[in-house]
Amino acid sequence: MPTSQYPVLQFDPEVLLQAQGQSEQGIRAALLDVDGVFTDGGIYFSETGETLKVFHTLDGFGLKMLQQAGIEPVVITGRDTTALRLRLANLGVVHAYYGVEDKLQVAQQVMKELDLNWGQIAAIGDDWPDLPLLTRAAFAAAPLNAHAEVKAMVHYVTQVAGGHGALREFCDVLLLAGGCYDRFYRQWVKPEV
């Protein structure tokens, strides 16, 4: 079982064990909500009525590492904004579904396309519409600012709120549990020459 050997990054060994998934292949896809996970959950409007979003760069880098580790990010969100579409395109997210009312139906469709089962799925969400995914996923997480009922149903609650690095923390757990964290970490922390 992986353990955290990094000075600041510490996760409960039971969380890491759960985050390995329930199949030999481990976690292969991460189902991601947007409002309250990628963002702080606030809805901001410009003077012209355009919806504005604020995204945390830590989260984006975490998603890039997930992709490099072979974990497919799948965004399923109830809202649709230009800002979100631009951000996900910039991050290279291929599987993004906007304006979704029935997240479970979309998740099952994507899993069928990718030939995955719930034992290979991790999910993070913050509110009741995410519960059908969170209660089925092999590993489920919620941001610190999630609804209390959601936090009670998941394997892990992040130490920070959505929009403030919660998604990155979720990615770190998956990378550490999957044995990839060290490889990425060492790319950036090299001994002085």
Going by the annotation, the residues of the binding site for substrate are: 35
Residue bearing tokens 């050997």 = 5
User: How many Å is the maximal CA-CA distance in the chain?
Assistant: 54
CA dist 97 and 80 (Å) reads: 9
Residue ranges of the annotated binding site are 33, 35, 126
Backbone angles phi, psi at 133, to 5 degrees: -85, -45
Give the annotated binding-site residues for Mg(2+): 33, 126
Q: What is the DSSP string of 88-144?
A: HHHHT--EEE-S-S-HHHHHHHHHHHHT--GGGEEEE--SGGGHHHHTTSSEEEE-T
Determine the Cα–Cα distance for residues 113 and 181; give it in Å rounded to an integer: 27
